[in-house]
Structure 1
Amino acid sequence: MLAAVGVLAFSGSFPATVYAMRGLDPFLVSIGRAVLALVVAVGFLLIARAPLLPPRRDLWSYIVIAAGVVFGFPVFSGLALHGGASTSHSAVVVGLLPAATAVFAVLRAGERPRPAFWIASALGALSITVFTLTRGGGHITPADLLLVLALVSAAVGYTEGARLTRTTPGWRVVSYALVMAAPLTVPLTVWLALTTEVTLTRESVSGLLYAGLVSMYLGFIPWYAGLAQGGIARAGQTQLAQPLLTLAWAWLLLAEPFDPWTILAAAAVLICVAATQRSRTR
């Protein structure tokens, strides 16, 4: 349930990014959201009277998390959306993220899912691959490659963050990742704000606020806690439901049309959630 709350928060990320880019540069949206989240993170750390820097023994882990979820996923996914990928298409492609997270959970966190788990995950990945190829005329588009880089970045950050959440509260994990990224995100945001065209509208401001406060910070608190308690590979499969949720937001907020094949692909992935949740991790 904790992981599902995180997925619900993340499901609005793509529509929010599209909103924000209607008045702001894609790079400013991708980097600036981390600065908004940083303000909240520092506030939480000060209120809790916690150290503003992470333990030295975990510095490398926090650098990996920052590279994956503070820089990698927002930048690559933002560029894909700016480059022509629709919100619905991007949501279905990023449905591969749970499978990627499971792989990194095996490599980094020592988890060993059962064969049934891998079969269900493979079927979900196959559904999305077929969907992507049919939409691209049998080819992978540049936007799809950017989305793949985005999901790999997120999978690395999710796995490392969940591993640390076993011993550190999730809010502190994401807070320290934002603090570690601050020497880059803060000056880059200032430079981009001064050198790119900035049009503040209700859509651009609300989209940036959601991407920064919810997608970049608040959503990670239940998400990391769910991964740590339920197992990274197993709880991470709840994110297979994210494509359907994002499709709903795209329809409600962006009036974005999608055909039955998009719904079918997302539904096929959702079915795999039930199958993976029935399997247990050794």
Structure 2
Amino acid sequence: MGRAGVQFAGRLETKVQLLGLVYGMLGVLVFSLTLPASKAAVGTFGALLVGPGRALIAAVFAGLMLSMKREKIPSRKHLPSLITISVGAIFGFPLLTAWAMNRVPASHGAVELALLPLATAAVSAIRCGERPSRLFWVCSAGGAGTVVLYTFITGLGGIHSADMALLGAVVMVAFAYAEGGRMASELGGWQVIAWSVVISVPAVVVFVIAGIASVGVTHVLHATWTAWLGLLYLGVGSQFFGFVAWYTGMGIGGVASVSQLQYLQPFFTIVFSWLLIGEKLTIPTVVAAFVVMLWVAFGKRATIRRQA
């Protein structure tokens, strides 16, 4: 290949990487509203309805899109991966974060969930054959360290049951993110989450029945409009369209590279929590956000080898 060909290939790769980052950022923005929406809904509906129950709303859109596009049913070899995604992204993460939002502020949860990019990159290195460079891990550690320091400076630290739930949610959804990003190149970005939601419906229905029984039918029917709005957003945005953008971005740009954008998510979440549910926005939050964005900028320059 001549010099012109090499330059064209380089420009094409850059454009593809940029497209992956654009999709990834869209997913991050959608996910940033997850904790405030959970906070608004969980007090009324309970963790079972707000957690796994929101997948029932997502299943409506997933089923319609799969039917309209006449998508081919995934083969049996894809089933273990779809189950992994379902366990982490449809049951584990939503249930644990909804439970935690009944006990701690959304800003607290946002800080702990900032460990997601590092966890996702670590899982992808094992599962997806990606080999980030040393600079990548330094930047990831710097971003995570900034988040930890921010936690202690602002007094949000301390390990208790809600913290353990949030850290457990990080681990579970990291596997779902890495697996979904890997499968997106085979099934397509939106198809991955759509099929994961659809195969989860029987188990989700059980959780929904249990959730309604725990809070009472009358309580659900007389819920406030803010609680309903929060639940609808979780089902339509966080559980479906956010994942469509996120998995598409990771499938195009690579799991480890695109996952770095999620370091920005906690600070978007804190801003949304301030605007929508009245939580405090402090100077340390703004400073920490700026520092983390610098780490992300350096991390995007790091080399990430993608093995076959």
Mark yes or no: TM-score above 0.5. Answer: yes
Determine which structure has more spread, i.e. the larger CA radius of gyration: 2
Partner of 1:181: 200
Q: Which amino acid aligns with 1:10?
A: F
**Do the aligned partners of residues 137 and 29 (structure 1) sit closer, same or farther apart at CA in structure 2, a change above 3 Å counting?**
closer
Q: Which amino acid aligns with 1:267?
A: F
Q: Of the candidates 186, 202, 226, which is equivalent to residue 203 of structure 1?
A: 226
Tell me if the contact between 1:113 and 1:233 (Cα under 8 Å) persists in the aligned partners: yes
Query: Offset of 1:3 from its aligned partner?
Result: 0.5
Partner of 2:295: 272
Tell me if the contact between 2:267 and 2:285 (Cα under 8 Å) persists in the aligned partners: no
* Structure 1: distance between partners of 2:144 and 2:250: 20
5 Å matches for 1:86-235? 86-134=105-153, 139-197=158-216, 198=220, 199-235=222-258
Instruction: Kindly provide the CA deviation profile for residues 29-85 of structure 1, in whole angstroms up to 9, marking residues without a partner as x.
Output: 11210110011111111111124x4321110000000001001111111111112x2
Q: Which runs of 5+ in 1 are unaligned?
A: none
Q: Which amino acid aligns with 2:283?
A: P
Instruction: Kindly provide the CA deviation profile for residues 101-147 of structure 1, in whole angstroms up to 9, marking residues without a partner as x.
Output: 00001000010111111100001111222333455686323222111
Partner of 1:60: 80
Higher mean displacement: 195-204 or 97-106: 195-204
Instruction: Kindly provide the CA deviation profile for residues 251-282 of structure 1, in whole angstroms up to 9, marking residues without a partner as x.
Output: 11011114323333333222211111111212
Structure 2 residue 44 is matched with structure 1 residue 44? no
Name the Cα RMSD after superposition: 1.6
Tell me if the contact between 1:26 and 1:78 (Cα under 8 Å) persists in the aligned partners: yes
* Structure 2 residue matching 1:167: 3-state secondary structure: helix
* Structure 2: distance between partners of 1:67 and 1:75: 11
Q: Which runs of 5+ in 2 are unaligned?
A: 1-21
Tell me if the contact between 2:117 and 2:259 (Cα under 8 Å) persists in the aligned partners: yes
Query: Offset of 1:195 from its aligned partner?
Result: 3.4
Tell me if the contact between 2:85 and 2:175 (Cα under 8 Å) persists in the aligned partners: yes
Aligned length, in residue pairs: 280
Q: Of the candidates 90, 93, 99, which is equivalent to residue 79 of structure 1?
A: 99
TM-score by length of 1: 0.94
Tell me if the contact between 1:9 and 1:219 (Cα under 8 Å) persists in the aligned partners: yes
Identity of aligned residues (%): 37
Q: Which amino acid aligns with 1:191?
A: A
Partner of 1:245: 268
TM-score by length of 2: 0.87
* Structure 2 residue matching 1:112: 3-state secondary structure: strand
* Structure 2: distance between partners of 1:257 and 1:195: 32
